[in-house]
Structure 1
Amino acid sequence: MQIDKILLSLELDGVLLSLTDAQLRSYLSKDVLPTHTLRSVFREFIDTKHGNTKRLYDETMRKITDDPLLDDITVTWLQRFYDSLDLAVNTKAIHMRNIRAVINFAIDREYTRNYPFRKFKILKEKTKHRDLSVEDLRRVRDYQGKWKPFSDCFILSFYLIGINLTDLLHAKKTSVKNGRLEYTRMKTGKHYSVKIEPEAQAIIDRYPDDELLVSFLRMYKNYDGFKRGINYALKMMRDDAGIICQDLTTYHARHTWASIAAGIDITRDIISEALGHEYGSRVTSVYVNFNLKKVDQANRKVLDYIR
């Protein structure tokens, strides 16, 4: 019965026919049954994740066409997988880092001692800065064309200290407490508390919804549809001076907030706190509350600066 389960699992994973006789014997041998494969550990690892992070790891697993035993993964295997990806360098790097994280996960659980990344370098290209000038940010804010809902969505993200698009679109009305948006970021599970300034509230009021904070998500069937729509619209927006920014995406809101904050001498620690980056240690709730006040003041300064 156990052998039947193993064979069925291998067939469902699409790897049964690709196994050599020796590999199949290894799977079926009682002495080797506890041995883990890359895909089996991927599945276990993915079950510990949620939201976009879970989807990213799942995407990497789907690109793995074979299913080597953890002990059999070599630098040669890593290089062959890397070369099989018809993607940009930095996108390839994401998949390789995902595999590395899964192997580290396996090592921590003593599934293997094999660490092939010791001799494999993950290449990456320098990321282009994704921030708008203050002038272009004002042009997006003041845009009045047919893409207005998308420009409002972008600016609302900026006003809320670069809140991630999926978190903004799925935020509930009940998430607002005492004038603050309280939410947990889907990607990281980290809690955020952002004061809703009058400028942000004006946009929220413009797009009312019975359940959601704003009704942007109702424009499309699902989140992915809206994401494609807004990233297309942002690139198409133009005013009397022409196209505002040909490569504008929702990511620019977060980067632009950080760049403006740095430009008006808000300290790096406060910027890190505002963006949810980890630094130092938090030892008391008093310290956390102190930082929230500083973040509120920083956001107010940024919004005042662009007016």
Structure 2
Amino acid sequence: MASIKLKFRPSSVKGKKGVLNYQIIHYRLTRLIKTSYQIMPFEWDDSTGSLLIPTQSECKARLLLIRDHTNWEMTRLQGIINDLERTGVEYTIDDIVAFFRKIPPMESVFKFMQRCINKLERQKRGRTAEGYTSTMNSFIQFRKNEDLSFEAFDSELMEMYEAYLKEKGLVKNSTSYYMRIWRSVYNLAIEQGYTTDKKPFKHVYTGIDKTVKRAVPFKIIKMIKELDLSFEPQLELARDIFLFSFYTRGMSFIDMAHLKKSNLQNGILTYSRKKTGQRLTILWEELMQEIVDKYKDDSSEYLLPILRYCDINDRKQYKLRAKQIGRGLNKIGLRLELKAPLTFYVARHSWASIAQDRKVSTDIIREGLGHDNEKTTHIYLASISTSQIDRANQIILKGL
């Protein structure tokens, strides 16, 4: 059977890096396969034929990555030899090399993640790509820009990453969001043969925690509506878009931004949620029309004054407007001295809360929010149920 070894060929120039090679010996014939990995002579142990990994060094991460890559590629080489042996047919050293050349090179974690992001962008999945990009950037900061292989992607690393995110002030659901993205990427790496499942997420949180109460009572919604913002057009626009969200059963900002005039036909607003693709219909009300009339623009095909141009740059427009309107809502919330920041989640949660207060059934609330299952709706309503129990308890204790 053929044998393989990792060999180091030093540079002919003193003080320069040498190159690692795979040495294949078969029927007394020797062939070297040159790799792209370069190391200094003092980073190689010729007696053991292996890399010298320092315990504390700026080069440690780089050498670990090279070690993992060469181990992975040598395992693939050995697999090729084993497969050829099992056929029982004579094979040559050139056959081994030819099969090895067909194997795609191993990718590091950073490069693999970037390839996933590029694919999402080609698929026009901009929001998902942005989530992946944010996740990768935070992980690169955590790693201090030191790349790694999937062989080093283990549970201890993920626990340290989770602790890092918490130190940065991220809440439980936010750390879970990053972990779920990495879990998807990791599973894809397994599928493509870059690693085996070492259960790196077994000790970190990947669930969805109950949402902290964001709803405001009906009187606050009314106060927001009655604010005089006529001399503050940016705040006025932010307030009106918030109210439109509330009027339309908590429609998300991205869905409102992409509403077109053609979505409104014969008194019915019809749209598909960007998040789920679910198709929803809403009976058009006078309050909605008041906002549309206020910002009427015959030159635009959009229903609301969020996006102006329907072209390839609408994602850039969307992000800019989301920041502007988000800042406006935050200022309104501070002005009203609300306990939590005013966001479009508040509009959505408030609609669900007020609906429940007015004895609307959970099934109807679920349908109105566009939730696929009742469990999601109960996450929105869990904190509301507590206040109902408190009121009942007050009635019980009153006569004591």
TM-score range, shorter chain: 0.7 to 0.9
Structure 2 Cα separation of the partners of residues 166 and 19 of structure 1: 45
Whether contact under 8 Å (1:204, 1:213) holds in the other structure is yes
- Percent identity (aligned): 28
Q: Describe the SS at the equivalent of 2:301.
A: coil
Partner residue in 1 for 2:381:
none
Whether contact under 8 Å (1:238, 1:244) holds in the other structure is yes
Q: Describe the SS at the equivalent of 2:76.
A: coil
Q: How does 1:91-102 map to 2 (within 5 A)?
A: 91-102=174-185
Structure 2 Cα separation of the partners of residues 139 and 252 of structure 1: 14
Partner residue in 2 for 1:212:
302
Whether contact under 8 Å (2:295, 2:304) holds in the other structure is yes
Could you say which structure has the higher helix fraction? Answer: 1
> Following TM superposition, by how much is the alpha carbon of 1:168 offset from its aligned partner in structure 2, in angstroms?
0.7
Choose 170-179 or 123-132, whichever is displaced more: 123-132
Partner residue in 2 for 1:193:
281
TM-score (norm 1): 0.72
Partner residue in 2 for 1:300:
none
Q: Which amino acid aligns with 2:356?
A: A
> Following TM superposition, by how much is the alpha carbon of 1:271 offset from its aligned partner in structure 2, in angstroms?
1.4
Structure 2 Cα separation of the partners of residues 117 and 265 of structure 1: 45
Q: Which amino acid aligns with 2:267?
A: G
Partner residue in 2 for 1:165:
253
Partner residue in 2 for 1:295:
none
Partner residue in 2 for 1:299:
none
Partner residue in 1 for 2:220:
136
Q: How does 1:221-260 map to 2 (within 5 A)?
A: 222-237=317-332, 243=336, 245=338, 247-260=341-354
> Following TM superposition, by how much is the alpha carbon of 1:41 offset from its aligned partner in structure 2, in angstroms?
4.9
2:113 is the counterpart of 1:42: yes
> Following TM superposition, by how much is the alpha carbon of 1:158 offset from its aligned partner in structure 2, in angstroms?
0.8
- From 166, 170, 175, the equivalent of 1:88 is 170
Equivalent residues, number: 265
Q: 1:260 to 1:62 in 2, by over 3 A?
A: same
> Following TM superposition, by how much is the alpha carbon of 1:60 offset from its aligned partner in structure 2, in angstroms?
0.8
Structure 1 Cα separation of the partners of residues 190 and 362 of structure 2: 35
2:144 is the counterpart of 1:60: no
> Following TM superposition, by how much is the alpha carbon of 1:263 offset from its aligned partner in structure 2, in angstroms?
1.4
Structure of greater Rg: 2
Structure 1 Cα separation of the partners of residues 295 and 71 of structure 2: 59
Per-residue CA distance 1:27-50 (angstroms, 9 max, x = gap): 665827555654455356543572
Q: Describe the SS at the equivalent of 1:116.
A: coil
Partner residue in 2 for 1:122:
205
Query: Cα RMSD between the aligned structures?
Result: 3.4
> Following TM superposition, by how much is the alpha carbon of 1:206 offset from its aligned partner in structure 2, in angstroms?
1.3
Q: 1:27 to 1:118 in 2, by over 3 A?
A: closer
Q: Which amino acid aligns with 2:177?
A: I
Q: Which amino acid aligns with 1:199?
A: L
Whether contact under 8 Å (1:136, 1:244) holds in the other structure is no
Higher relative contact order (CA 8 A, sep 6+): 1
Structure 2 Cα separation of the partners of residues 271 and 255 of structure 1: 11
Structure 2 Cα separation of the partners of residues 238 and 279 of structure 1: 31
Partner residue in 1 for 2:70:
25
Whether contact under 8 Å (1:207, 1:216) holds in the other structure is no
Structure 1 Cα separation of the partners of residues 171 and 332 of structure 2: 29
Structure 1: tracts of 5 or more residues without a match: 9-14, 281-307
Structure 2 Cα separation of the partners of residues 182 and 226 of structure 1: 23
Structure 2 Cα separation of the partners of residues 244 and 132 of structure 1: 12
Q: 1:27 to 1:159 in 2, by over 3 A?
A: same
Structure 1 Cα separation of the partners of residues 73 and 190 of structure 2: 23
TM-score (norm 2): 0.57
Per-residue CA distance 1:212-267 (angstroms, 9 max, x = gap): 1111345xx8323322222222233389xx62536211211111111111111222
Could you say which structure has the higher strand fraction? Answer: 2
Q: 1:231 to 1:277 in 2, by over 3 A?
A: same
2:269 is the counterpart of 1:269: no
Q: Which amino acid aligns with 1:139?
A: M
Structure 2 Cα separation of the partners of residues 232 and 30 of structure 1: 54
Structure 2 Cα separation of the partners of residues 203 and 53 of structure 1: 30
Whether contact under 8 Å (1:42, 1:102) holds in the other structure is yes
